[in-house]
Amino acid sequence: MSTGHGPTPSIDFDHPPADPLPLFEQWFAEAQKLATPNPNAMTLATVDADGAPSARIVLLREISREGARFFTNRNSRKGKALAANARAALLFHWDLLDRQVRIEGRVTLATDAESDEYFAHRPVDSRVNAWASDQSEPVASRAELERRAEEMTRRFAGGDVPRPPHWGGYRVSLDRVEFWQGDKYRLHDRVVYVRGGDGGYRVQRLCP
């Protein structure tokens, strides 16, 4: 239902669908049509072993009923946080559509086969640099980073670049999914899906 204050929502927030995944796929497809880079960019928020929160941008590579999947260096700061506290929050913000989607859930590792498949499709230089960079660790200079990259380029010259053992995928389960449609005068539309023990969702409209 439109208030007349902003964009007409693509769903009836008073009578939303029962399942969040098709709705996310619809919104994501619409975001992909925008003239902006990386519509799959999402903020990943984690909490480490000391209870300190941290957030950064990662890229969604696949979403299914099992969760939202991304890939990274598992020895990075976010990887260490997820090893200590296997829960995370994701946030998509598509400003030109005045929309946000928030996902919260448990985090599990993607399988080695999934990680190998995705890594094999990355550009060669990206695969080499996954070996060269000790992500989140101190480095003396840009020159040192480039020296490591050149060393790895020589190491793998003329051959395959396998996936490093510390690099792979994660999947964030769709335990809580919220859709937000902005309104010019701040009377936003919000609906949240909370998964129950039977796998179904409790759906509620929220105040802005």
In the prediction, which pLDDT does 6 show?
Answer: 42
| pLDDT one-digit tens code per residue, 54-73 | 999 999 999 999 999 999 99
| pLDDT one-digit tens code per residue, 27-55 | 999 999 998 899 999 999 999 999 999 99
Sign of CA dihedral 71, 75, 81, 82: positive
In the prediction, which pLDDT does 9 show?
Answer: 55
- pLDDT over 50 (residue 3): no
- pLDDT over 80 (residue 125): yes
In the prediction, which pLDDT does 90 show?
Answer: 98
- Burial tier of 70 (Cβ tally within 10 Å: 0-12, 13-18, 19+): buried
77, 186, 190, 202: the active-site residue = 186
Domains with residue ranges and CATH for the chain: 20-119+165-206 (2.30.110.10)
Q: Count of alpha carbons within 13 Å of 176, Cβ hemisphere only? A: 10
| pLDDT one-digit tens code per residue, 84-94 | 999 999 999 99
Distance CA 5, CA 2 (A): 8
In the prediction, which pLDDT does 5 show?
Answer: 45
**pTM given for the model:** 0.91
The angle subtended at Cα 37 by Cα 36 and Cα 41, nearest 5°, is 115
69 among known catalytic residues: no
